[in-house]
Structure formats: structure tokens, C-alpha cells
Amino acid sequence: MRNMIILLGIIFVTMSGYVRAEAEFDFEELMEAVEDNAHELQAFIVNEDADNSLKLTQELKEAFQRVGNYFDAWGDAQDAVDDSKQYQKKLDEITAFLQQKDFGSASSAAVDFAKNCDKACHDKYKPL
């Protein structure tokens, strides 16, 4: 009986940590931030603000890493994992243009990024 109580206690502690971690990660909130940041990135690029543009590309890349990990753990969503990796590569491309101060190419890539992101997995996965 004592072992059973200890086992249940361990399960409770383990699960409460998992639930807390899940509660700290609001997928919908993250995606709203991604959408806002993608549009803000375009504004920074148009204003040739390399520092803030580079900061946002890094934040967006980290967000898509988190999205990829989320869908990878979720399972049965390899297309979303692949899309996440594709967007990270596109952000690397934007970063390279910004580092070269090629704001025209960075702008085109950022617009393409935002358009494709809006069309990607939203129809299939947004109503999570």
C-alpha cells in the first residue's frame, strides 16, 4: 500500500509538471505573435532598420523551432514540421539579405514568407 501511495505521488508530481509546462505554452498566442512579427518585420525592412529586423527574424526563427517541436511531438503532422523547417530556412535567407544591407531582397523574401505562412497549415491546424 505504501508503495502504491509513493507511485501515485510520483505520477501526480510528474503529470502536474507536464500540465504546467503545457499551460505555459499557448499555441494560439504564439501563432498570433508570429503573424504580428511577420508584418512588423516587413515594416522594419521598408524603413531599413536592420537591427530590429534582425532581432525579429531571430524571434520568428525561434518561434518556428518551437512550432516544429510542437507538431513533431503531436505526431501525425509531418507536413507542419516540414513547413516549420522551410520557414526557418526562409528566415535564414532574410537574415543573410539584412546582413548584406540588401533591403530590397530582404523585403521580397519577407513578403513571400508572410504570404506562404498565411497559406500553409492554417486551414488544417489552426482550429486546435
Q: What is the mean pLDDT of residues 69-74?
A: 86
Find where cell 501525425 sits.
Answer: 76
DSSP 120: S
How confident is the model at residue 119, as a pLDDT?
62
Q: What is the mean pLDDT of residues 64-75?
A: 87
- 127/117: higher pLDDT: 117
The answer to whether 31 and 126 have CB atoms below 8 angstroms apart is: yes
The domain spans of the chain are 26-125
- 43/79: higher pLDDT: 43
CATH of region 26-125: 1.20.120
The answer to whether 41 and 56 have CB atoms below 8 angstroms apart is: yes
Tell me the average pLDDT of the chain: 79
Nine cell digits for residue 38: 511577420
The CA-to-CA distance between both ends of the chain, in Å, stands at: 41
Find where cell 522551410 sits.
Answer: 86
Q: What is the pLDDT of residues 83-108, one digit of tens each?
A: 889 999 999 999 999 999 999 999 99
DSSP 127: T
Find where cell 534582425 sits.
Answer: 54
Report the alpha-carbon distance of residue 60 to residue 112 in Å, rounded. Answer: 15
How confident is the model at residue 31, as a pLDDT?
82
